[in-house]
Amino acid sequence: MAKRNIDPLACAGEITHALKKGVFLTTKNGEKVNTMAIGWGHIGRIWELPVFIAYVRECRYTRELLDTNPEFTVNVPVNGVDRRTLAICGGKSGRDTDKIAEAGLTLVEPEVISVPAIKEFPLTLECRVLYREPEDASRLPEDIRKKFYSIETESHIAYYGRIMAAYRIEE
C-alpha cells in the first residue's frame, strides 16, 4: 500500500467540505485504537505551523485516550462513507466496542506518530497535540448554547494538533 505525500493546507477545502458529512478522528493508547466520527474541526496555520483543531466532548472515551497519548489522525473519506460506518463510529463508545473491527476498517501504519491511518478514509493527517483548551460554554451566545449544549451535555475540549505528516493512501 503506497502513500502519496500531500500539502495539507492545499487540501483544506476538501477537508472542510468533508467535515459536513463526517470525518474520523483516530486515537491510540497502548494497543487500543479508537476512532470517532466528527463534524467540527478547523485546518489552517497558527504559530507558523500547519494545524488541525479537533473538538472532543469531555465525556468521550476519545478524550481519555488523547489525554494519555496526545496524538491523533484525521481520516477523511474521499468517496463518501456509508451510514453503517458513521453509525458505529459516531454512535457507539470505544469503551465498550471495538469500532474498528465492527465497522470492518483496515488500519495502516503511520509515518511519524503512533496512531494509525485508516485505509478506507485515505486522506490522512497525522497530528501531535500542541495545545488543548477546555471550552467555556457559558460564554457562548444563548442561541448556540441552547442548540448545542443541554444541561446533560458536557462542553468540548479543543485539541490543536500540529500536522506532522499528510498523505493519501493509494492501492
pLDDT at 164 over 60: yes
70 falls in which pLDDT band (50, 70, 90)? very high
3-state secondary structure of 140: coil
Q: Which long-range contacts (CB under 8 A, 24 or more apart) does 107-113 make?
A: 107/33, 108/1, 108/3, 108/169, 110/73, 110/165, 111/3, 111/164, 111/165, 111/167, 112/164, 112/165, 113/71, 113/73, 113/164, 113/165
Predicted confidence at residue 49, as pLDDT, reads 97
Identify the CATH number of the domain in which residue 140 sits: 2.30.110.10
User: Would you place residue 42 in the very low, low, confident or very high pLDDT band (cuts 50, 70, 90)?
Assistant: very high
Can you tell me whether residue 171 is helix, strand or coil? coil
**Residue in the structure block whose three cell numbers are 476498517:** 105
pLDDT of residue 58: 82
Quick one: cell of 153? Answer: 451535555
φ/ψ of residue 120, rounded to 5: -70, -15
Average pLDDT, the chain: 91
The total number of structural domains that make up the chain = 1
Please state the pTM of the whole predicted model. Answer: 0.93
Q: Encode pLDDT of 71-94 as tens digits.
A: 999 999 988 888 888 888 888 888
Asked whether residue 57 carries a pLDDT value surpassing 60, the answer given is yes
Domain hosting residue 27, numbered range: 2-170
DSSP-derived secondary structure for 61-114: HHHHHHHHS-EEEEEE-SS---HHHHHHHHHS-TTT--HHHHHT--EE--SSSS
Instruction: Tell me: pLDDT of 154 over 80.
Output: no
Say yes or no to pLDDT of 151 above 80: no
